[in-house]
Structure 1
Amino acid sequence: MQPQVLLIVLNPYDEKMSNTENNLATPDEIIMNKIYFVREEKVMIDSDLAELYGVETKRLNEQVKRNVSRFPADFMFELTEAEFKNLKSQFATSSWGGRRTPPYAFTEHGVLMLSSVLNSDKAIKVNIQIMRIFTKFADCLPIILALNLKLKKLKRDSKIKTKT
């Protein structure tokens, strides 16, 4: 069975928190496009986070390994080969280049913990922005679930009508 990797791109844009007003270096849309659903978790990939923080992926992972006790399995996990392949197949070109090993995926808590091991002004600002976006995703979840229930009901109703 193929592992499920779901890519959902939402745009919960809030004019009160626009990038220009907050002088953010990275537009929210770029960060939102780097959030994936793997193993029923919202995650961000190590290379994407490194790019946002302005560090090499190797350096980010070194800091994580030096502070491994801060990153339990529910904060960070390594993608399986199948998950990594599935994730890469969703894009025309790979943004992860010639990696030899699957990337690490950081959950919301893991991303938050990264700010304590990457102690730069940019990492702190980016982390605040990422946390706000994760919150926007959480705010959208009830809407997505309600729409999913309505869609299932519509499908069920249409099947009943075609049978009669």
Structure 2
Amino acid sequence: MDLQIIQNRIIEIRGQRVMLDFHLAELYEVETKVLKQAVRRNIERFPEDFMFELTKSELDKLRSQTVTFDWKPTTYAPFVFTEQGVAMLSSVLKSKKAIRVNVEIIRAFVQLRKLAIQNSEIIHRIDEMEKKYDKQFKEVFTALRYLIHPPEKERRRIGYKK
């Protein structure tokens, strides 16, 4: 399984890196309904820090921000699984495929964590260098910060203006 595909499906909600139930169901090659039923039957294994359900406002915001997801009409808000929740899914979905996919998903979460740590280390080093060489390299540090965290472009509104 391609690690990049999994990493692209890990998103941030409520300050946590998570995966949506329909993405996990697709990776496990089961219907979303089957995955949700297995979770509900074993709900005691999924405390709030392992899995939660999106609120309507979170779902609306997520839909507006993510054009690339294949949003299917649904009556129920998706379940959202943290890294620990994904690990717990392997004990609920007991197929060999589920176990293999879980291993790859956990690897993707670990890889993203490593990248975040490296990024924070780089920022820390830049901060220290900036303190040391503040006046001499102020423009260089400004350019580096811009490259690390480019400003978000203002989006043009679509539709009628009120």
Distance in 1 between residues matched to 2:99 and 2:38, nearest whole Å? 15
SS at match of 1:82: helix
Aligned to 2:39: 64
1:86 to 33, 38, 61: 61
Q: Residues 33 and 94 of structure 1: is their aligned pair in 2 closer, same or farther, counting only changes over 3 Å?
A: closer
The question of 1:113 aligning with 2:85 is answered no
Q: Give the superposition deviation at 1:71.
A: 0.3
Distance in 2 between residues matched to 1:78 and 1:51, nearest whole Å? 18
- Identity, % of aligned positions: 45
1:126 to 88, 96, 101: 101
Aligned to 1:75: 50
Aligned to 1:53: 28
Aligned to 2:160: none
Residue 27 of structure 1 aligns with an amino acid whose one-letter code is: D
The answer to whether the 8 Å contact 1:77/1:104 transfers is: yes
Aligned to 1:21: none
Q: Give the superposition deviation at 1:94.
A: 4.5
Aligned to 2:15: 40
Q: CA RMSD in A?
A: 2.2
Q: Deviations over 1:16-38 (max 9, x none)?
A: xxxxxxxxxx3111111110011
Q: Residues 74 and 137 of structure 1: is their aligned pair in 2 closer, same or farther, counting only changes over 3 Å?
A: same
The question of 1:104 aligning with 2:92 is answered no
TM-score, reference length from structure 2: 0.73
Q: Residues 142 and 93 of structure 1: is their aligned pair in 2 closer, same or farther, counting only changes over 3 Å?
A: closer
Distance in 1 between residues matched to 2:70 and 2:61, nearest whole Å? 13
SS at match of 1:154: helix
Number of corresponding residues: 131
State the structure with more CA Rg.
2
Q: Residues 35 and 113 of structure 1: is their aligned pair in 2 closer, same or farther, counting only changes over 3 Å?
A: same
Q: Give the superposition deviation at 1:92.
A: 2.8
Q: Which runs of 5+ in 2 are unaligned?
A: 128-140, 146-162
